[in-house]
Structure 1
Amino acid sequence: MLLIKNIRIDPENPAEVSDIFIAGGKIQAVGTKLAPDLPNLTIIDGDGRTAVPGYIDQHVHILGGGGESGFASRVPELQLSECVRGGVSTVVGLLGTDSLTRSVENLVAKTKALKSEGLTAFCLTGAYEFPSPTLTGTVKKDIAFIDEVIGVKIAIADHRSSNLAKGDLIRLASQARLGGIISGKPGIVHLHVGSGKRGLGLLFDILETEDLPISVFRPTHVGRVFADAVRFAGMGGYIDFTADEGGGETARMLARAFEQAPVDRITLSTDSNGSIPKWNDRKELLRMGVGQISSMHRTVKTLVEECGVPLSMALRPVTTSVAKALGLADRKGCLAVGYDADLNLLDDRLSLSMVVTGGTVMMDGGRVLRKGMFEP
């Protein structure tokens, strides 16, 4: 049991100070001057810091991505401490270009490992390629019968993709939707969008001629197709931007998107531990970067400090909006009674000073208290 006192939980009313009482991994009470007389209660003085919901990152290469420049370019696996330092309490793992040296079996196992280490973790079956690699033999069965699997990943508009035909994506989306309906999961098709000529054209074509709901399709890396993305969000779809290493470029793009598209349809993820290759016009690899999960908080901070976006709005793409998109709005993305006890404390410079995940203090004073089994 944990009682965090003297914190600010409403960014729009910073003068209002509250307490949060946590037990059983859930927020049990929010109010002023809470004083439960209970044994084994840990009390922490929040010292006027701002409490925000734990971040949700729906695009993480938890096994590591890469491989576009030979076997030595395989990015290492995600470690628990990386999530803790970034204030991320919920992750969705996925595969990328490389589904040869990594598999859906590995992905599900890593997802289970992160759950046992204290995170909330889900994953997506599939990868860039089509037909999609699966664990059970079909996308529909993976989603329906594997607890951690909530949808499928595929790539479009990219020279590394399988260059899907319209019918291929329709059948894939139909499987994902049916698996989701049967199991009570989102059943989404998470679409890596490259810099190809078609942009989101394939999605617009399907939505014009077929009966699949727009909620099935979740394009990410949409900064590459900004105009298409705004149009897609205006139609009622979710669009997912990818945080850049410094946070500034994506923050400025998000600020523009807030003005042109419904704010509750905009989400942000990091592509953490995935490769970020730079190609020339002939699709030759020039250089390769690596996504960092810490870029999520940097982007939020930049939105506030450099773009003038209110903190409450800057947080929405990584808390309330993404929670709703993933079917988690009844337990994630909000600091309220009954919600999971995932929260971050920000100091007066908006730096992460404490991270609480599932009611456990994972970082305090910038020092990581919980690490993965094999981390030094």
Structure 2
Amino acid sequence: MLLIRNAEVYQPAYMGRQDVLMAGDHILAIQKNLELGSLASGTEVIEAEGQILLPGFIDTHVHITGGGGEGGPHTRTPPIRLTDLTKAGVTTVVGCLGTDGFTRSMKDLLAKAAGLEEEGIRVYAWTGSYQMPVRSLFDHLEEDLLHLPRVIGVGEVALSDHRSSQPTVEEVKKLAASARVGGMLSGKPGLINFHLGDQPGGLSMLMKICQDTHIPLTQFLPTHQNRNEDLFQEALAYGKAGGYMDFTTSTVPAFIEEGEVPCHQALARALDAGIPIERISFSSDAQGSLPVFDKTGKCTGLEVGSAASLFQAVLEAVRLEGISLETALQTITSTPAKIMNWQDKGVLQVGGKADAVLFNVDEQRIETVIAKGRIMIQNQEVVVKGVFE
């Protein structure tokens, strides 16, 4: 059992100063001045005076096996490590393949996901591939959703990008139908996580599919919607029509110079446009490559996405845009949990999962991270490492 005393608790809604008691993998109590009685002798206590307690962060787009490769085999990015996630406060992650779905596979992805889960965090996966037709583990992606408990949807599938397979509306429509049926049969969301590139038309294709069929916009989770101003304007219309908006937090100066909309600005502008926070999320694209291409399409530079950018973007939204913490925090906690239909994650509530982050406001740093009721990081020191760290 673990007791966190005198923390300023954000559910993400602000709850004031509370004590939080965790037993195993669940939150047992949240109340002021909690008395343990006979339980006191067997309970570890964290004194959290001057710190805020937040739900563990959820990152729905991470290349856990590594990404990249656009500049040749030597530019394949390395797999993520457990502490790359826990030091960033991420306690639940969804892994995906990227441009290179050939030297990396679904088998590799699922094995890495299982490994991270055994090391101490919650891990899910998107099935399929960047290119279409998507390459699922079973013959049909519906079977992946049905028979692989860790698989929650399809992705990342590339649209409007020179690296994509340039799919047609009809091809994407059939994919959406399969994902929807697979989700219904398996009791999962069956979402499709779409990668959006710099070319125009990706979101308009999804809008057309929803107009031509009974498939709702909420069947899709398109990411990188802040990639450039034109795409962002298209994303605002998409959000107003009822679709989810997902902004990528990992970036490099060259992207900003070329017109990428920083996440803090994207969030502020989306909220000003009337998009509810319940449909706006951030994801990091961690371990994905951040390639720079010249006008001929040649890769001229490459950096790697980081999970640490996730919470940093939330803090920038608070500091630079004046957005309240409890609003900005939802982009990496309760909103992705609602999108994925995870009722016991992304919030601090009695009966909910014991995933939490203690943040030192004065020092502006993550102090302690708890996943599955287990302390992973304490006072900035790594308590639990990955097997090969």
Normalising TM by the smaller chain, what interval? over 0.9
Residue equivalent to 1:143: 145
**Cα distance in 1, alignment partners of residues 15 and 331 from structure 2:** 24
**Cα distance in 2, alignment partners of residues 82 and 35 from structure 1:** 36
Counterparts in 2 of 1:259-278, with a 5 A limit? Answer: 259-260=272-273, 261-278=275-292
**Cα distance in 1, alignment partners of residues 124 and 386 from structure 2:** 17
The reply to whether residue 115 of structure 1 matches residue 121 of structure 2 is: no
- 1:8 match: secondary structure: strand
1:241 to 238, 247, 250: 247
The reply to whether residue 173 of structure 1 matches residue 176 of structure 2 is: yes
Residue equivalent to 1:229: 235
Deviation at 1:287, TM superposition (A): 1.2
Report the aligned-residue RMSD: 1.7
Deviation at 1:13, TM superposition (A): 8.9
Native 8 Å contact 1:127 1:133 kept in 2? yes
Native 8 Å contact 2:207 2:217 kept in 1? no
- 1:108 partner letter: L
**Cα distance in 2, alignment partners of residues 231 and 271 from structure 1:** 24
Residue equivalent to 2:194: 191
**Cα distance in 2, alignment partners of residues 173 and 303 from structure 1:** 33
The reply to whether residue 250 of structure 1 matches residue 263 of structure 2 is: yes
Residues 18-54 of structure 1 deviation map (CA, whole Å, 9 limit, x = unaligned): 1000002100100011121214211111123100111
- 1:268 match: secondary structure: strand
The reply to whether residue 370 of structure 1 matches residue 376 of structure 2 is: no
**Cα distance in 2, alignment partners of residues 177 and 199 from structure 1:** 19
Native 8 Å contact 1:11 1:311 kept in 2? no
Residues 227-253 of structure 1 deviation map (CA, whole Å, 9 limit, x = unaligned): 111111111111110003479922122
Give ranges in structure 1 of 5+ residues lacking alignment. none
Residue equivalent to 2:71: 69
Native 8 Å contact 2:355 2:372 kept in 1? yes
**Cα distance in 2, alignment partners of residues 114 and 186 from structure 1:** 22
Native 8 Å contact 1:234 1:262 kept in 2? no
Deviation at 1:88, TM superposition (A): 0.3
**Cα distance in 1, alignment partners of residues 200 and 346 from structure 2:** 36
Counterparts in 2 of 1:80-91, with a 5 A limit? Answer: 80-91=82-93
Deviation at 1:302, TM superposition (A): 1.1
- 1:16 match: secondary structure: strand
Q: Structure 2-normalised TM-score?
A: 0.93
Native 8 Å contact 2:11 2:348 kept in 1? no
Native 8 Å contact 1:215 1:237 kept in 2? yes
**How many pairs align?**
374
Instruction: Decide which moves more: 3-12 or 43-52.
Output: 3-12
Q: Structure 1-normalised TM-score?
A: 0.96
Residues 80-109 of structure 1 deviation map (CA, whole Å, 9 limit, x = unaligned): 001111000000000000011100011011
- 1:110 partner letter: K
Residues 108-147 of structure 1 deviation map (CA, whole Å, 9 limit, x = unaligned): 1111111111111100111211111111121111111101
The reply to whether residue 34 of structure 1 matches residue 37 of structure 2 is: no
**Cα distance in 1, alignment partners of residues 329 and 252 from structure 2:** 17
The reply to whether residue 285 of structure 1 matches residue 293 of structure 2 is: no
**Cα distance in 2, alignment partners of residues 372 and 78 from structure 1:** 10
Native 8 Å contact 1:17 1:48 kept in 2? no
- 1:277 partner letter: P
Deviation at 1:282, TM superposition (A): 2.6
The reply to whether residue 101 of structure 1 matches residue 107 of structure 2 is: no
Q: Would the alpha carbon gap of residues 262 and 372 (structure 1) be closer, same or farther in structure 2, given more than 3 Å must change?
A: same
Give ranges in structure 2 of 5+ residues lacking alignment. 254-260
- 1:116 match: secondary structure: helix
- 1:346 match: secondary structure: strand
Residues 157-210 of structure 1 deviation map (CA, whole Å, 9 limit, x = unaligned): 001111111111111111111111111111011100001122312111111111
- 2:205 partner letter: L
**Cα distance in 2, alignment partners of residues 295 and 16 from structure 1:** 27
Deviation at 1:10, TM superposition (A): 3.7
Residue equivalent to 2:256: none
Deviation at 1:346, TM superposition (A): 0.9
Native 8 Å contact 1:191 1:217 kept in 2? yes
Q: Would the alpha carbon gap of residues 210 and 89 (structure 1) be closer, same or farther in structure 2, given more than 3 Å must change?
A: same
**Cα distance in 2, alignment partners of residues 254 and 148 from structure 1:** 30
Native 8 Å contact 1:50 1:345 kept in 2? yes
